[in-house]
Amino acid sequence: MTTLLTAQQVVTPARVLAPGWLLLDGDRVVEVGEGAPPRTPDLDLGDVTVCPGFVDLHVHGGGGAAFETGTPEAARTVAAAHLAHGTTSIAASLVTDTREVMERTVRDLARCVDDGLLAGLHLEGPWLSPARSGAHSPGALALPAREHVEALLDAGGDAVRMVTLAPELTGGLDAVRLLVERGVVAAVGHTDATYDQARAAIDAGARLGTHLFNAMRPMHHREPGAVGALLAADADVELIADGVHLHPAVLRTVFAAKPGRCVLVTDAMAAAGAPDGDYRLGAMDVEVREGVARLASDDGAGAIAGSTLTMDAAVRFAVTQAGVPLADAVHAASTAPARVWGLDDVGALEAGRRADLVVLDAGLEVARVMQAGAWVSPSSTPA
């Protein structure tokens, strides 16, 4: 039996339909249209905006739990915490740890990918620059020797979808080529690379910048570094829209410079959707105060350690604080990340794709969430 939904606005990859409607059949979108619906709707959602379910390619935790523990229970807690905020497809990002720990965690979480709980795994390390390690354990950083890279990829099989690395490291470009050969997205991040070094990585097949500007050599007008290389190249860029990692003017500027190539990510740690307090990010102690996560330090001014962001808040910040058009922000939170990872089944409201929906009210707050054709939380269930 099909279900017809109507709403004041429906965001599609091509444009915003106002008013719009969606015809669903089970867990699939059958048709999307504008104007008068083909029949009396089964549910009129009213003066809301319906978006595709959000896709987060870079997230470490949420709801008080972290993917780094490697347990299915933690993975379910994290996924549920972000699902309540509209993220219907979520990656598990792993921070730097010892080789043994990372291989074990990758093997354990690969089962959650096979079960459909996770969209894939993202290895953020251990092949990062010591000069730009951020909240990664310096003692566990390593050079990307082929045998090490292959071992971590083999541990996860097809579940490993993305690896962030510093291409200037010895063996870095060879690692980029290996990742591309294995069908894994190579992302440039936590890097002190010069423009030429970053450009060489892009030429070798790297096609994403991990949290642009953060944990990268600063852009300079005579040495643009990795930031300049990624902005100038045919590459996508991650952006953390929380007002902590990037100034709103920077966010707005990058969206204007890279139309369709911006990818909103949360880089969330365990405190996303949880109270302030003391947490762990991999092997590092983290203090969360007033929603800002930093490495524990005597003066409270440690390095930023991920975020407490959720994707709905990222979209809201991009639109209301940075002046990014709603359609562009939604594209960056859904369609663009799905494209980067080749997730053809999600990320857009189009015929044949999975029925993942986020219903936003006039204030861009989440009113309801649908995943695979089902309303997924009590607050999402229509009366």
Catalytic residues: 267
Residue 179 token pair? 């990742």
Per DSSP, which regions of 127-198 are E strands?
160-165, 185-188
Q: Which of 381, 344, 364, 366 is CA-nearest to residue 89?
A: 344
CA–CA gap between residue 150 and residue 32 (Å, rounded): 43
Do 97 and 105 touch, CB atoms closer than 8 A? Answer: yes
**Assigned token pair, 367:** 């009113």
* CA-to-CA dists, residue 88 to 108, 124, 127, 268, 370, angstroms: 21, 22, 29, 15, 8
Q: Which of 137, 114, 68, 58 is nearest to 310 (CA)?
A: 58
User: What single-letter DSSP state applies at residue 265?
Assistant: -
Distances (CA, A) of 304 to 90, 270, 373: 22, 14, 37
Per the CB < 8 A criterion, the answer to whether 54 and 86 are in contact is: yes
Nearest residue to 263 (alpha-carbon basis) of 243, 236, 242: 236
- Please tell me the distance from the alpha carbon of residue 220 to that of residue 296, in angstroms, as a whole number: 30
Q: What are phi and psi of 107, to 5 degrees?
A: -60, -45
Give me Rg for the CA atoms of the chain. Answer: 20
C-alpha to C-alpha distance for 376 and 278, rounded to whole angstroms: 30
Cβ-count burial of 183 within 10 angstroms (0-12 exposed, 13-18 middle, 19+ buried)? exposed
